[in-house]
Amino acid sequence: MATVVLKKGEGRLLKQGGMWIFDNEIDTIQGMYKNGDIVEVQDFDGYGMGKGFINDQSKIRVRMMTRKKDQEIDVAFLENRVKAAWEYRKTTVDTSCCRVIFGEADFLPGLVIDKFSDVLVVQSLALGIDRWKTQIVDILVKLMKEDGIAIKGVYERSDTAVRKKEGLPLHKGFLSEPFDTNVEIVENGVHYMVDVVNGQKTGFFLDQKYNRLAIQKLCKDKKVLDCFTHMGTFALNAGIAGAKEVTGLDISDYAIKQARENAKRNGLEKTVHFRQANVLDELPKLLAAGEQYDVVILDPPAFTKSREATKNAIKGYREINREGLKLVKDGGYLATCSCSHFMTQELFIKTIGEAAKSAHKRLRQAEFRTQSPDHPILWAADESYYLKFLIFQVVEEK
How far is residue 109 from each of residues 113, 163, 367, measured CA to CA in Å? 12, 13, 31
Q: Which position among 98, 227, 337, 339 bears the catalytic label? A: 339
339 classed as catalytic: yes
Burial class (CB in 10 A: 0-12, 13-18, 19+), 398: exposed
Q: Give the catalytic positions in this structure.
A: 339
